Structure 1
Amino acid sequence: MIATLQASLVGATATFERHYKQPVDKVWAMLTDNALLAKWFPELKAQDLSAGGSMIFDMGDGSSVVMEIMDIKVNSILEYVWGNDSVRFELSPDGDGTRLLLIESISEITSHTAKDLSGWHVCLDVIEALLDGEELQNRKKVWEQWFVEYTRLVEEFRFTRTNRG
Structure 2
Amino acid sequence: MLASIDRTEHGYFARFERRLKHSVEEVWSYLTDNEKLKQWFPELRVEELREGGTILFDMGDGTFEKMNITRLQIHSLLEYTWADDLVRFELSPEPDGCFLVFQEELTKITDHTAKDLAGWHVCLDVIEALLDGRTMESRFEVWKTWHEKYVQALSDIKNSATDAS
Q: What secondary structure does 1:48 align onto?
A: coil
Deviation sequence 1:57-110 (CA, Å, 0-9, x none): 000011000100000000000000000001000000122211000000000100
Equivalences for residues 9-24 of structure 1 within 5 A: 9-24=9-24
The DSSP-based 3-state class of the residue aligned with 1:42 is: coil
Superposition pairs of residues 1-165 of structure 1, within 5 angstroms: 1-165=1-165
Alignment partners' CA distance in 1, 2:159 and 2:52 = 37
Rounded to whole Å, the distance in 2 between the matches of 1:131 and 1:57 is 23
Task: State the alpha-carbon separation in 2 of the partners of residues 34 and 44 from structure 1.
Answer: 8
Q: TM-score scaled by structure 1?
A: 0.98
Structure 1 stretches of at least 4 aligned residues deviating more than 4 Å after TM superposition:
none
Q: Kindly tell me the number of residue pairs found equivalent between the two proteins.
A: 165
RMSD: 0.6
Percent identity, please.
Answer: 47
- Runs of 5+ in structure 2 lacking a partner? none
Deviation at 1:137, TM superposition (A): 1.0
Where 2:47 maps in the other structure, the secondary structure is: strand
Q: Aligned equivalents of 2:96 and 2:26: distance in 1?
A: 12
Tell me the alpha carbon deviations over residues 27-62 of structure 1, each in whole angstroms, 9 at most, x when there is no partner. 000000000000000000111010100110000011
Query: Using the alignment, how far apart are the partners of 2:69 and 2:148 within structure 1?
Result: 31
- The offset of 1:18, in angstroms, is 0.5
Instruction: State TM-score, norm by structure 2.
Output: 0.98
Shift of residue 117, structure 1, vs aligned partner:
0.1
3-state DSSP class of the match of 1:26? helix
Cα offset, 1:115, TM superposition = 0.3
Shift of residue 164, structure 1, vs aligned partner: 1.1
Equivalent residue of 1:111, what SS?
coil
One-letter identity of the residue aligned with 2:153: L
* Cα distance per residue 1:125-161 (max 9 Å; x no partner): 0000000011011000000000011001110111111
